[in-house]
Amino acid sequence: MGGVSMGQQLFFVGSYAAKEQEGISAMVLHTEDGKITRLSGQAGIFNPSFLRSNEAGTRLYVVSETGAEPGSVYSFVIHADNGELKAINEWTTKGGSPCHVEIDATGKLLIVTNYSGGNLCLYGIENEDGSLVPADFAAHEGGGPRNDRQEVPHPHSAIIDPANRYALIADLGTDQIVHYAIDHDARKLDRQHATALPAGAGPRHMAFHPNGQVLYVINELDSTVAVFSYEAEKSQLTLKQVISTLPEGYGEETTCADIHVTADGRFLYASNRGHDSIAVYRIAAEGKLELVEITSSGGMTPRNFAISPDGRYLLAANQNTDNIVTFRIDGETGALRPTGHEIAMSKPVCIAFV
């Protein structure tokens, strides 16, 4: 088994897998050419569908997406030289289909959103070993206009604002971004208010611009990106733009999935499942978006993708073609160009760089 060396970037991939199957894979991106190499794998977790490492790259946190039954969240020690994981502890998420993990800037708090449970859990992270401790719980109410997807609340992701004062929750079921003030000392979430999106939009994932003044929300159900200005003092959002992720006139069934902004704040990327593509935008004045291109993801159902830490590559996880494809990011235009490299993996649905 090889290790991580110079010119390589460690990342983990989560997938839909049976408990006895390898659900988490450690891989490296070769930054010279975009090649991907597998290092090691981890079995023992049912559907480890979302994962995230801490800032230091020493711990990995993973949710087990179990459907209607309450799921679990796991903590691991990362052996950065070879990507192997050592289990620390596990807790219930008190809700079904946990689908997202967010860690605050101090590395002391973690939020899990439960899609089927309609709720979210806050955990404390013990710095001594990175273990999790249950701290708080919040449930949402309401629904949206679509009876097939919005009959009840469906919290889909959390993001913590750049000042580390508020947690914002994208609720696909209620067409809302729900704002919570974070009490770091008491390890509590205090609900403040909610921001409405267009009816039937279905907010899924979010990304802040590096300047902290703009929030981007990808809407799963109507295949759009909503652009909000963000006022940090009271966590207020003001809608500035809604832009499609699809080619004009496209009428086939498709849903949006993931969204990321480059570290330099110049480009934004959004994925389409069904159209099976990545929409590329230039970030213009006031954070508004201008479409650059919409390019194939190199497979089917790009549920998740990630931008490499050096900003040179985008890796697309194509769930239904069992492959991860690497693209080189054009530094001038933001356009994506296939490197010619990909790697096979069963049902990849989350990529987390360390």
Burial of residue 340, with CB atoms counted within 10 A of its CB: 0-12 exposed, 13-18 middle, 19 or more buried: exposed
Residue 28 belongs to some domain of the structure? no
pLDDT given for residue 115 in this prediction: 98
Token pair 């709720």: residue? 119
Give first-to-last CA distance, the chain, whole Å: 19
Residue 295 belongs to some domain of the structure? yes
Mean pLDDT by 10 residues, the chain (354 residues): 80 97 98 97 97 97 94 96 95 98 98 97 95 98 97 98 98 98 98 98 98 98 98 98 97 97 98 98 98 98 98 98 98 98 98 97
Number of domains in the chain: 1
Do the beta carbons of residue 319 and residue 257 sit within 8 Å? no
Residue 341 belongs to some domain of the structure? yes
Please give the structure tokens belonging to residue 155: 């919290």
Residue 50 belongs to some domain of the structure? no
Judged by phi (left if over 0) then psi (alpha if -120 to 50, else beta), residue 83 lies in: left
Residue 163 belongs to some domain of the structure? no
Token pair 């790697």: residue? 343
pLDDT given for residue 1 in this prediction: 42
Q: What angle do CA 345, 348, 353 make, to 5 degrees?
A: 100
Residue 347 belongs to some domain of the structure? yes
Task: Give the count of beta carbons closer than 10 Å to the beta carbon of residue 152.
Answer: 15
Do the beta carbons of residue 275 and residue 309 sit within 8 Å? no
pLDDT given for residue 136 in this prediction: 98
Task: Give the count of beta carbons closer than 10 Å to the beta carbon of residue 56.
Answer: 11
Query: With a threshold of 0.95, does the pTM exceed it?
Result: yes
Residue 132 belongs to some domain of the structure? no
Please give the structure tokens belonging to residue 239: 């809608």
Q: What angle do CA 176, 195, 68 make, to 5 degrees?
A: 20
Nearest residue to 28 (alpha-carbon basis) of 15, 43, 40: 40
pLDDT given for residue 6 in this prediction: 84
Residue 112 belongs to some domain of the structure? no
Burial of residue 190, with CB atoms counted within 10 A of its CB: 0-12 exposed, 13-18 middle, 19 or more buried: middle
Task: Give the count of beta carbons closer than 10 Å to the beta carbon of residue 96.
Answer: 19
CATH number at residue 281: 2.130.10.10
Nearest residue to 168 (alpha-carbon basis) of 107, 212, 225, 134: 212
pLDDT given for residue 4 in this prediction: 81
Q: Domain range spanning residue 322?
A: 245-354
Calpha distance 249→195 (Å, rounded): 29
